[in-house]
Every structure is written in C-alpha cells, then in structure tokens.
C-alpha cells in the first residue's frame, strides 16, 4: 500500500549547515493561507460575541491567534519534513527544500507558540490563551504526530484544530464559551472532511507514496465519495444552525441553506460520476466551492450581526 | 569584521550574507512592532489609571 523507505531516507538531518533561509521562508513556515482562514473565522467569533472588547485589544488578540496558528504550521512542517519531501505538493516547502534547517523551524515554532499564548493570556484572558495552547498542542501532537500517520480518520478528528479559532475569538471577547461559538466550531469541524477528502481524491498517489493513510488510499475513492456525501448532508443543517437557533437572521439562514444545498448537490454529482473525468472535475469544483462556502457563511454571519438582524429561531 | 575570521573558518557567500541581513532586519522590525503593541495595550488596559500611582 505505502512505501515508507523513501520517507525514512529523508529522516537524516545534517550535523551542521549554514542557514539559507530568507524571510519569505519563515513566512512560508507559518502557512499563511491556512492562517488567513484562522484569522478570518477568529475575527468573526470575536466580532459576533456579546459584550465589547477595545479595538486595540481585539487586534492584539487576533494577532496572537494568527501567530499561534503560524506556530502550529511551523511545528507541523518541522515534524512532517520527511513526508513533505516525497509529496509533489509539499516538496518545495522550506525544510525539505533545504532552505530552513529542522532545528530552526522547531525553535521558531516553539518561540511563536509560547509567545502567542502568553501574550493572549495577558491581553485578553487565560481561557482564550488556554484554548489557543490546546489548539496548537492538538494540531501538532494529536493530528500531525499521531493521527495523520495512523488512521484514515486523521483529518476528521484533526479538523478540530482548525475549528477552534472562532471559539478562541469568542472566548477572547467574553471570557466564556457560548453555544453560538460551539455552533461555529461544529460548522468548521463538519466542513473539514468533505473539503480535504475532495483534495485527496486527486492527490491519492502523492499520499500513498508518502505513507499517509488518507481515506482514498486506505478505503478507495468510492468509499471516500460516499463519506464526502454523508458529511456534506450533515454539514448543510449544521451550517444553518446559527439561524435555526435564533443567533442569526434570515439573510444568514437563506445563504446557509442555499450554500449547503450547493455543496450537497456537488457531493451527489461527485458520487454519481465516480472514476470519470467528470468525477475528477466535480472533486476539484467541490474543493473550490467548500472554501467559498466557509468564507461565505462566516462573512454573512458577521454582516448579519453588524446589521443587527437577530433571528427568532426555529428550534 | 570579516565573517571568515581565519583561513579555516566558514566563509559565507554573498547570498548567505544578504539573507542573514534580511532576517536580522525582519527580527528588528518584529521586535519594534512588539514594543509598540505592548505599549499601546498597556495604556489601553490601564486606562486613566496609568497616571494614578503612588509617588
């Protein structure tokens, strides 16, 4: 199924080397694209939370959450340098490309992790800081070091790490965990599997070569398409839940229902077309649409909140 | 001061020197931003109380 020998060859670390790293390499270590999603969802969590947080403190809290996400990204790249080196998607990352030494990435990631958690605790509160610390730990130790290489459910459970940012933003503003922030967590949690499995459908060989037991590698593309559909069908009502519970108004409700139906429709197409060029196109469209779906839902949730259009709730 | 120190020392290439200089500048900027951030956050958190302290 998998060839780990290529991965093992990349475990070797030079005893001594001169750093070739540019500033851009350190930025790349922080996974800026992932960070942008983290910052955006955390911003929405912070803004829709009840109460008032001074804009300067809100900005500082968001910066800490962003840096914490960057720390998790750097530590992930440090641990995963061996598998990154054998995957075409990741082999040009700073460590496998030889521009950043593993120990530099480790030091960079740990410094950012400790600094971001400490500053968030001082700027906002220690509940938010504790949640940020747990998120970094969960992403690095639970997802990267354990689940990613051991189970096809890796991104299902590991997806929790990406789902925490709006809860951290909410906690930074309120010092508590509210039901609305839990709903935002659940939206991202159930969004993650169809999003990543759609990507992994056309990256199966890459993951197999790296020895990563992604669902298409272990259970095959058919089972992956079936599970994508199940998660898409579960995601649709969860996406609408802030409106159903009365936390968001009808603008959000209509958007969430329509966007959820589109994702579910594309997941059905993906399952129907199977291993055909149309199926491959559907997988790529679903991947792209899923990113748009999440940005759209959180953007409209924020707009809805700013417009002051509370819903009445159906549940 | 020369980077190589002696004949047997490590000699950085011009590219390595350029990248090290850029990293140093980035660290300086990051520290400057942190100083400014901590100052502003301190003022905001203390509010008017920043002037009320025992002499």
ipTM of the complex: 0.80
Reference A95, options A34, A148, A19; nearest CA is A19
Q: In angstroms, rounded to a whole number, what is the distance separating the alpha carbons of residues A263 and A223?
A: 18
By Cβ distance, the residue of A19, A20, A123 closest to B41 is A123
Chain B residues with beta carbon closer than 8 angstroms to that of A122: 41
Radius of gyration of chain B (CA): 21
CA distance A182 to chain B (A): 28
pLDDT for B4 beyond 90: no
Please answer yes or no on whether A60 and B19 come within 8 Å at the CB atom. no
Please answer yes or no on whether A19 and B16 come within 8 Å at the CB atom. yes
Q: In angstroms, rounded to a whole number, what is the distance separating the alpha carbons of residues A96 and A118?
A: 30
Q: Cβ(B30)–Cβ(B22) under 8 Å?
A: no
Q: Name which of A15, A18, A115 to mutate to probe chain B: the one with the most chain B Cβ atoms within 10 A of its Cβ.
A: A18
CA distance A84 to chain B (A): 24
By Cβ distance, the residue of B20, B23, B44 closest to A56 is B44
pLDDT digits (tens, 9 = 90+) for B9-50: 788 889 999 999 999 999 999 999 999 999 999 999 888 776
pLDDT digits (tens, 9 = 90+) for A22-60: 999 999 999 999 999 999 999 999 999 998 889 999 999
Tokens of B51: 């002037």
Neighbours of B34 (CB within 10 A): 13
Pick the range with the lowest mean pLDDT from A10-14, A31-35, A82-86, B7-11. A10-14
Name the strand (E) or helix (H) holding A248: none
pLDDT digits (tens, 9 = 90+) for A152-182: 999 999 999 999 999 999 999 999 999 999 9
pLDDT for A14 beyond 80: no
pLDDT for B51 beyond 80: no
Reference A242, options A253, A234, A232, A254; nearest CA is A253
Chain B residues with beta carbon closer than 8 angstroms to that of A116: none
By Cβ distance, the residue of A20, A122, A123 closest to B16 is A20
């Amino acid at each position: 199924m998998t060839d780990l020998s290529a991965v093992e060859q990349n475990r070797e670390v030079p005893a001594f080397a001169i750093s070739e790293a540019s500033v851009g390499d350190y930025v790349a270590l922080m996974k800026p694209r992932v960070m942008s999603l983290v910052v955006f969802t955390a911003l929405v969590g912070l803004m829709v939370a009840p109460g008032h947080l001074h804009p300067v403190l809100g900005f500082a809290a968001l910066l800490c959450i962003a840096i914490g996400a960057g720390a998790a990204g750097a530590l992930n790249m440090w641990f995963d340098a061996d598998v990154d080196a054998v995957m075409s998607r990741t082999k040009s990352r700073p460590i496998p490309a030889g521009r950043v030494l593993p120990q530099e990435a480790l030091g960079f990631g740990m410094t950012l992790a400790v600094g971001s958690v400490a500053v968030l605790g001082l700027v906002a509160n220690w509940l938010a800081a504790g949640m940020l610390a747990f998120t970094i730990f969960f992403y690095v130790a639970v997802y990267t070091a354990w689940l990613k290489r051991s189970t096809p459910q890796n991104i299902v459970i590991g997806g929790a790490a990406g789902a925490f940012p709006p809860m951290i933003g909410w906690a930074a503003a309120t010092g508590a965990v509210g039901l609305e922030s839990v709903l935002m967590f659940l939206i991202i949690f159930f969004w993650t599997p169809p999003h990543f499995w759609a990507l992994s459908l056309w990256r199966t060989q890459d993951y197999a070569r790296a020895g990563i037991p992604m669902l298409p590698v272990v259970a095959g593309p058919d089972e992956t398409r079936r599970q994508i559909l199940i998660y898409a069908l579960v995601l649709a009502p969860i996406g609408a839940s802030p409106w159903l519970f009365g936390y968001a108004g009808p603008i959000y409700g209509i958007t969430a229902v329509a966007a959820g139906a589109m994702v579910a429709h594309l997941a059905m197409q993906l399952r129907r077309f199977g291993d055909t060029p149309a199926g491959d196109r559907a997988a790529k469209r679903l991947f792209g649409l899923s990113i748009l779906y999440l940005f759209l839902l959180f953007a409209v949730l924020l707009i809805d909140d700013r417009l002051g259009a509370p819903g009445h709730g159906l549940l | 001061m020369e980077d190589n120190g002696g004949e047997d020392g490590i000699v950085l290439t011009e590219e390595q020197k350029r990248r090290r200089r850029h990293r140093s500048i980035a660290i300086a900027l990051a520290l400057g931003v942190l100083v400014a951030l901590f100052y502003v956050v301190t003022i905001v958190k203390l509010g008017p109380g920043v002037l009320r302290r025992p002499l």
